[in-house]
């Protein structure tokens, strides 16, 4: 079985822009400015007795340093690079979170199913949007808004019960963490398929659902 590193290289992630040395502030501004994505700052990591702890103060935080800090987080989200810069200047270590249901929805699947689907999509020569790989072993495929409404019926048409597959469509009211946001000591969110000028126009969920459902079925 291929390792994660080998598989990522196989999907050309080796070409990702190097973000070492690039601040979260500059990255958030770039997402708003170049991709026209709404962004909002999340929690951050504090060093407590040499251990990275989430700013929320919960010892058992499920996504340390990578979740919203307030219930009205959706009202914080902005597509303005100027406003984004101002928000991250207040807390430079804040996670970069992207609300779904606006400029994109996201199809979330387990990492193993995601890599299998990516391989099938490449063979099918499908046009992909950006895809993230998170430290909690999930992959998020960016697609056109509206996927959260369509996906259950699309899955049924393929012969699957939606509840039988670990395939979740994230739309309005949800969010994804963007690279290089860190999940505590587990590592940082990465691009499995980086944002490029070529994938500025996102695919519809209907174009990707077949290989994703197949991969999730194999991964059960």
pLDDT above 90: residue 135: yes
Q: What is the mean pLDDT of residues 35-57?
A: 91
Q: How many Å separate Cα 153 from the centre of its chain?
A: 23
pLDDT above 60: residue 3: no
Confidence of residue 56 (pLDDT cuts 50, 70, 90): very high
What is the reported pLDDT for 43? 97
Q: What is the mean pLDDT of residues 35-44?
A: 97
Report the alpha-carbon distance of residue 3 to residue 9 in Å, rounded.
10
What is the reported pLDDT for 22? 75
pLDDT above 50: residue 131: yes
Q: What is the mean pLDDT of residues 54-80?
A: 95
What is the reported pLDDT for 21? 53
pLDDT above 50: residue 137: yes
Q: What is the mean pLDDT of residues 16-39?
A: 82
Report the alpha-carbon distance of residue 170 to residue 157 in Å, rounded.
20
pLDDT above 90: residue 48: no
Quote the percentage of the chain above a pLDDT of 70.
90
Residues with Cβ within 8 Å of 116's Cβ and at least 6 positions away in sequence, in order, are: 215, 218, 219
Which is more confidently placed, 21 or 105? 105
Please state, in angstroms and as integers, the Cα–Cα distance from residue 141 to each residue in 20, 35, 154, 163, following that order. 24, 16, 16, 19
Q: What is the mean pLDDT of residues 60-66?
A: 93
What is the reported pLDDT for 10? 37
The pLDDT tens digits of the residues spanning 162-179 come to 999 999 999 999 999 999
Report the alpha-carbon distance of residue 95 to residue 39 in Å, rounded.
10
Report the alpha-carbon distance of residue 140 to residue 118 in Å, rounded.
11
Confidence of residue 41 (pLDDT cuts 50, 70, 90): very high
Element (H, E) at 166: none
What is the reported pLDDT for 219? 80
Look over the chain and give the mean of its residue pLDDT values, rounded to a whole number.
Answer: 89
């Amino acid at each position: 079985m291929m390792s994660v590193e080998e598989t990522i290289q196989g999907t050309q992630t080796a070409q990702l822009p190097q973000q070492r040395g690039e601040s979260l502030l500059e990255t958030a501004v770039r997402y708003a400015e170049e991709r026209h994505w709404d962004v909002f700052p999340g929690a951050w990591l504090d060093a407590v007795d040499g251990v990275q702890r989430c700013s929320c103060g919960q010892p058992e935080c499920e996504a340390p340093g990578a979740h919203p800090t307030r219930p009205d987080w959706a009202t914080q989200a902005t597509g303005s690079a100027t406003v984004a810069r101002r928000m991250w200047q207040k807390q430079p270590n804040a996670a970069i979170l992207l609300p779904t249901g606006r400029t994109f929805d996201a199809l979330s699947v387990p990492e193993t199913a995601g890599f299998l689907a990516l391989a099938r999509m490449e063979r099918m020569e499908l046009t992909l949007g950006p895809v993230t790989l998170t430290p909690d072993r999930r992959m998020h495929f960016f697609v056109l808004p509206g996927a959260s409404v369509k996906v259950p019926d699309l899955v049924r048409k393929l012969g699957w019960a939606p509840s039988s597959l670990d395939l979740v469509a994230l739309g309005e009211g949800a969010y994804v963490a963007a690279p290089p946001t860190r999940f505590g000591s587990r590592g940082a969110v990465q691009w499995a398929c980086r944002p490029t000028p070529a994938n500025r126009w996102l695919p519809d969920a209907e174009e990707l659902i077949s290989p994703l459902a197949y991969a999730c079925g194999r991964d059960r």
